[in-house]
Amino acid sequence: MPSRTPGLRHVLGMAGMCTLSIAVLATMQLAGSSPESDHQGPAVNRLITVRAAPPSGSEPGGRPVSMGAAGRSSADLPDGPPVPVTGSGTWRVVPGAVRQAYAGHPDTYSVEIEDGVRLVDGDVGFGRFVDGVLHDPRSWIGDGVTALQRIEHGVPDLRIRLTSQNTARALCGYELPFDTSCRIDDAVYLSAARWIRGATSFSGRMDEYRQYMVNHEVGHFLGHEHELCDISGSFAPVMMQQTFSTRNDELADITATNPQQVDVPKDGKVCTPNAWPYPHATR
């Protein structure tokens, strides 16, 4: 397993800036490192702002990104039901604890939801879904080494936080005009906008996309970096930025002005969406 790198902000993809600035959180602590930095700066308190996206289909500076049907990028948030736009910037712990999923020394995690965010399935339903993903042998425990245990009390090694649209944009970055999730230090921030509407690449398969969200961001916590489609027609690596695309050519266009840990070649390779690190493991 790759060694963990503290202090990095890892993202499923990052999204874009314009001129309108809306303050959504006050005095929140963030690591002072850029998304691409290998070094952590000192933690700072700052006012976090979210900037409105430029017109759909342009990057900062007006450069076009890869467009699909009806002039939309594959990385755009799909149409769908309303999403939680704003939250308080504080998180409530979802009650519940689960025994560790492997006999080794476990990393502990808590499941949390930003205050102001409400789900149809409720807090408990969200917690059960996350547990079901992380305790599935197709997830990271499938390597026979990783061990995870959910706790309700005490300080966890990892906080898994469902986060409103604006808070996720402020924390994860909005340098490209797309909603994303990310990992910052000992927390992963799952965009509630994506949780509710998914990603174009998953064609409306919401449970599968949510499984991907959890596995991808927890993968960053465990030390894994972004990957690319390697063999056309095969399962996409769970660490591929599938929120953007499962096509290397599209991913190269989308991330051209904001590299995401890996250089993406335009090699024509297209993978099948995949939510799991070990998709062939026996359940």
- Domain tally, the chain: 1
Tokens of 51: 């900037």
Domain that residue 64 falls in: 9-225
Provide the pLDDT for residue 176. Answer: 87
Domain assignment present for 249: no
Domain assignment present for 235: no
Q: Of 204, 197, 203, which is closest to residue 178 (Cα–Cα)?
A: 197
Provide the pLDDT for residue 34. Answer: 29
Provide the pLDDT for residue 11. Answer: 53
Domain assignment present for 265: no
The model's pTM is 0.79
Provide the pLDDT for residue 257. Answer: 83
DSSP annotation of 213: H
In this predicted model, what pLDDT tens digit does every residue of 183-223 receive, in sequence order?
A: 999 999 999 999 999 999 999 999 999 999 999 999 999 99
Tell me how far apart the alpha carbons of residues 64 and 50 are, in angstroms, rounded to a whole number. 22
Domain assignment present for 276: no
Judging by beta carbons within 10 Å of its beta carbon (0-12, 13-18, 19+), is residue 6 exposed, middle or buried? exposed
Counting Cα atoms < 13 Å in the Cβ hemisphere of 266 gives 8
Ranges of residues in the chain whose predicted pLDDT is under 50 = 1-3, 5-7, 12-70
Tell me how far apart the alpha carbons of residues 142 and 97 are, in angstroms, rounded to a whole number. 21
Distances (CA, A) of 27 to 44, 162, 240, 261: 9, 20, 33, 29
